[in-house]
Amino acid sequence: MELSLLDNQEDQTVQQTAPVSNCAPSDEAWRALRRRTLLILVGVWAISAVYVTANLNRGWVPHDEGTYAQSAERVLGGELPHRDFDDLYTGGLSFLNAFAFRLMGTNLGSLRLILMVFFLAWVPALFYIASRFGSALTAGAITLLAVAWSIPNYAAAVPSWYNLFFAVFGTSAIIRYLETRRYRWVFLAGMCGGFSILVKITGVYFIAAALLFFVFREQCEANGDRKPATGHGRVYSLFVTATLLAFVAILSAMIRNARGAAYIVHFVVPGATLVAFLLWREFQTPPGNQGQRFLSLFRMLVPFGIGILLPVAVYLIPYVRSNSLSSLIRGVFILPQRHLNFTVMRPADLPAAKATFLLVALIAGAVFLQGTLRRVYGGLIAIACVAALVASAQVPIVYWFAWNSLSFSIPVTVMCGIVSLTRANIADERSALLREQLVLLLSVTAVWSLVQFPFSAPIYFCFVAPVLALTLLAFFSSFGRAPRFVLGVLLCFYLLFAVLRVTPGFLYHIGFDYRADTQNMPLTLPRAGGLRVELDDALTYESLIPLMQGHAAGKYTYAAPDCPEIYFLSGLKNPTRTLFDFFDDPDGRTERVLSAVERNRVNVIAISKKPSFSPPLAADLRVALNERFPHSATVGRFEVRWRE
């Protein structure tokens, strides 16, 4: 998106084009431009830091916070993820959070502070990418839009935020490679992919996106972006074709058990569209030396692959030394399959696409109008956006349209971007570079959007929205007739919609309706780290935790189903290896739990009446626990039981 009020075409030309002969700016003008860009970046960085800091300790999802904190505390105590306890993710985040505890104290606030450190490094990376497609002011506006749709809406240290950070870091490294042709940047991008999968296995989506882009990059080297020629290399083309079709087959297999066309549109169409484009190009690529084409591809794949393997290899060392690689493989690749049975949420259904089509129609109308008609049209759009922003606080259908205008924006953006690329006329080297950068961002958006599967809660769109914003900027920057004023108005609308309507509602209401902020009650427990939560949660946990601590005679308790936050907030240990009960094997589970309870001399337990994902405790386990812990009290949604 470009802003007519912000975009200075002359500055953009100077910024993105190397100085040549008499057309180049003077050294003084060049330094002034760089100072201006730096000032804008610093201003955007400062605004982002203040805004996120204001929301950093607001709200929580108890089982999320408990999962990250308990895992980190167990690592801090010498345990190894997957070998000693069932980490929900790859395990790298547990080590990072353990480091945060050691450095800043064992409380929930420490997890958010380390997240903030990564965020502060992420903002300049966003700005850097955006600056390739617009002026410094435009890049700043897009960066603020990306920030508003990210962490402030849910500031917990969830792994998907780190995956997003590394995806943007890796994308910026590849863009730098395109500009310098130095393979060290490809290596750095690979390291970002490696670190990302250590946080959560979904980091592989960025890796897949980069691999798809490398296919396109090799095609550019093979034909020099010349017009299509007859003939094609058979061996290399067959290799690429088989690989790309396998990718589409994997996408289809992922959603094989999901019902509804919405899954296909959201999670298969973007990647399949990109693959179709690459195959179309492949069979128009001039014939060439097959060995040379493989060599060109592997010149990118090798440093990228080494970058991935380096952090992964270091992470594997303790598992190799303790002969527990099988535990890691089981925990990362096998146990997560149970997520599909318990943590599933459908994406937006096809009727929501009409809101996206309305947005596309508004932009298309501006494209085809000229002169006074375009200015009048833009003014009407501005008035409509102001009215919609005001009405969205009280009229649910207006909020619904505003949110759902983005719901199908990813497949629409990818398809429109690919269509524009098939019609593009690359006239010079700068245009070719912009084309490569656009394909890179389309690839990352298309594949990274899979992070929303299988749990397509509205907040998961926020894990993709910043990349989408960058891609839209790249897409519209390629338009000679882009309606900059209308795009600027829409940018302001979605920025203000995020700040005024999305963020205040927290993730329980995001995507559904506007609610005033109710996460304003400090959770005063010592390990809460100053989080502000809803009144009901504060009352529940500030009564529950002291009650359990008062009845605990040792270091252990038992809390289930899905109550990891109780272990951490109370400082009492978990006698089992399970954080979420659906991970545990149901065969023999009652005997294992009772044995762990007796072996560790547990005196007090907590039973959740409303587990987040897992089913209620098995009847025989519940009866046995009631017999062993005869005294009880109800605190909120928990039943506390103890024995003297």
Per residue in 441-455, pLDDT (tens digit) is 999 999 999 999 988
Indicate the helix (H) or strand (E) that contains 514. none
Nearest residue to 127 via CA among 139, 114, 116: 139
According to the model, what pLDDT value does residue 560 have? 95
List b or e across 64-76, with b for residues whose CB sees 16 or more CB atoms inside 10 angstroms: bbbbbbbbbbbbb
- How far apart are alpha carbons 296 and 301 in whole angstroms? 9
Q: In angstroms, what is the C-alpha Rg of the chain? A: 26
pLDDT of residue 506: 82
Q: 536-565 burial, b if ≥16 CB within 10 A, otherwise e?
A: ebbebbbebbebbeebbeeebbbbbbbbbb
**Rounded mean pLDDT of the chain?**
91
Query: Residue 604's beta-bridge partner residues?
Result: 642
Dihedral, 100, 105, 106, 110 alpha carbons, nearest 10: -50
CA dist 93 and 339 (Å) reads 19
Q: Are the C-beta atoms of residues 445 and 414 closer than 8 Å to each other? A: yes
How far CA 324 is from CA of 82, 214, 223, in Å, comes to 9, 35, 48
Helices marked H in 149-289: 159-180, 184-199, 204-223, 234-254, 261-267, 269-282
Position 517 scores a pLDDT of 86
Q: Give the confidence band of 212 by pLDDT, cuts at 50, 70, 90.
A: very high
Overall average pLDDT of the 504-510 stretch: 86
Q: What angle do CA 487, 490, 495 make, to 5 degrees?
A: 125
Question: pLDDT tier at 230 (50, 70, 90 boundaries)?
Answer: very low
Tokens for 65, please give them. 């916070």
ω before 62 within 30° of 0 (cis)? Answer: no
Q: How would residue 224 be classed by pLDDT, with cut points 50, 70 and 90?
A: low
Token digits of residue 107: 């409380």
What's the confidence (pLDDT) of residue 296? 94
Is 230 or 479 the better-scoring residue by pLDDT? 479
Query: Longest C-alpha distance within the chain, in Å?
Result: 90
pLDDT of 103-141, one tens digit each? 999 999 999 999 999 999 999 999 999 999 999 999 999
pTM recorded for the entire structure: 0.93
